[in-house]
């Protein structure tokens, strides 16, 4: 099932996407919900980010080639630990499908995309096991982890490099039915394929992350976990269009604007 979140007046509401039709819902997608009588065409609604997470988690350096290239490029000792230590991103940076990524005027040229699978949590859980970890997942969406590589080196934290407003496009919707091992992530820049990789070919998979995280922390419905990306990427220029497609979910598309 595909859950879209779209703007209606001053609020955002959920709907189920069936083909090109959106059926508005009442209630909570993480609890009880019902279909309303309101119907829209997908092309008529303005999509919002598919969920506002209570906590926004992100795995770093979780695909082998990306880890190797980033270690070299930004001088991080990426090989120091293979333990799945989760990181964080900030809600201010989230931006919906079809909205612009705005690069501040003082950013350097080294701004890259990162196409990522996003896990959306559906239940309040702690102490998950390898056997029950997947039951905590509500569905999946797509993220583009826009990163300013020089700020990533110079700042003590990744606050500017990763969390500048609009640097975290997420969407277009949440898909609940996927086959992880059959999925491919395809990133296109201005329509041309830049990279294609097996979505589930992570160094640390979803289950080990969930098990280790929930030994120490409680996950809540709507929390998101961005699972990392593969490869490296060219520098983004004003007017570039980035599509992150994950087969079985959809395509997240955003246009880059560089402030003058």
Stretch that binds a copy of itself, among 91-99, 196-204, 237-245, 250-258 (CB under 8 A): 91-99
Stretch that binds a copy of itself, among 48-56, 108-116, 129-137, 194-202 (CB under 8 A): 48-56
Q: Does 60 bind a copy of itself (CB under 8 A)?
A: yes
Q: Shortest Cβ distance from residue 95 to a copy of itself (Å)? A: 11
Instruction: Name the residue among 158, 24, 173 with its Cα closest to residue 88.
Output: 158
Residue pair 140/178 in contact (Cβ under 8 Å)? The answer is yes
Q: Shortest Cβ distance from residue 106 to a copy of itself (Å)? A: 8
Q: Shortest Cβ distance from residue 258 to a copy of itself (Å)? A: 14
Q: How many binding residues for a copy of itself (CB under 8 A)?
A: 34
Inter-CA distances, 33 with 39, 50, 245, 256, Å: 16, 16, 28, 36
Closer Cβ to a copy of itself, 36 or 218, answer by number:
218
Radius of gyration over every alpha carbon of the chain, rounded to an integer in angstroms:
18
Q: Does 185 bind a copy of itself (CB under 8 A)?
A: no
Percentages helix, strand, coil for the chain (3-state, rounded to 5) are 20, 40, 45
Stretch that binds a copy of itself, among 109-117, 150-158, 175-183, 246-254 (CB under 8 A): 150-158
- How many helices and strands (H and E) does the chain possess? 4, 18
Stretch that binds a copy of itself, among 23-31, 149-157, 194-202, 229-237 (CB under 8 A): 149-157
Q: Does 220 bind a copy of itself (CB under 8 A)?
A: yes
Place of tokens 């082998």: 64
Closer Cβ to a copy of itself, 25 or 213, answer by number:
213
Q: Shortest Cβ distance from residue 103 to a copy of itself (Å)? A: 11
Place of tokens 């969920």: 51
Q: Does 217 bind a copy of itself (CB under 8 A)?
A: yes
In three-state form (DSSP H/G/I as H, E/B as E, the rest C), the secondary structure along 90-140 is CHHHEECCCCCEEECCCCCCCEECCEEEEEEECCCECCCCCCCHHHHEEEE
Q: Does 164 bind a copy of itself (CB under 8 A)?
A: yes
Task: Please pick, from the candidates 13, 219, 227, 242, the single residue that binds a copy of itself as defined by CB under 8 A.
Answer: 219
Residues 152-159: contacts with CB under 8 Å, at least 24 apart:
152/74, 153/74, 153/75, 158/87, 159/90
Q: Does 218 bind a copy of itself (CB under 8 A)?
A: yes
Q: Does 93 bind a copy of itself (CB under 8 A)?
A: yes
Question: Strands 224-226, 56-58: parallel, antiparallel or unpaired by DSSP?
Answer: parallel
- Is the preceding omega at residue 71 within 30 degrees of 0, hence cis? no
- Which residues are at the interface with a copy of itself (CB under 8 A)? 52, 54-55, 57, 60, 80-81, 83, 85-88, 90-93, 104, 126, 154-157, 159-160, 163-165, 213, 215-220
């Amino acid at each position: 099932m595909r859950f879209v979140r779209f703007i209606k007046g001053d609020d955002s509401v959920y709907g189920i996407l069936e083909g090109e039709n959106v059926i508005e819902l009442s209630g909570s997608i993480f609890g009880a919900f019902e279909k309303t009588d309101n119907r829209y065409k997908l092309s008529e609604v303005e999509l919002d980010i598919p969920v506002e997470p209570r906590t926004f988690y992100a795995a770093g350096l979780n695909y082998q080639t990306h880890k190797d290239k980033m270690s070299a490029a930004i001088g991080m000792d990426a090989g120091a630990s293979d333990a799945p230590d989760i990181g964080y991103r900030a809600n201010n940076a989230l931006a919906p499908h079809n909205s612009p990524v705005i690069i501040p005027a003082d950013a350097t040229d080294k701004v890259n995309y990162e196409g990522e699978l996003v896990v959306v949590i559906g239940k309040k859980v702690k102490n998950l096991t390898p056997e029950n970890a997947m039951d905590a997942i509500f569905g999946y969406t797509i993220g583009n982890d826009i990163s300013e590589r020089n700020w990533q080196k110079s700042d003590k934290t990744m606050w500017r490099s990763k969390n500048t407003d609009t640097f975290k496009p997420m969407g277009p919707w949440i898909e609940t039915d996927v086959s992880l091992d059959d999925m491919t992530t395809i990133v296109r820049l201005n329509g041309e394929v830049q990279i294609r990789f097996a979505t589930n070919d992570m160094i640390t998979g979803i289950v080990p992350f969930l098990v280790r995280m929930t030994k120490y922390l409680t996950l809540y419905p709507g929390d998101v976990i961005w699972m990392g990306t593969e490869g490296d990427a060219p520098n983004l220029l004003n007017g570039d269009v980035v599509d992150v497609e994950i087969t079985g979910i959809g395509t997240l598309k955003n246009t880059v604007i560089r402030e003058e």
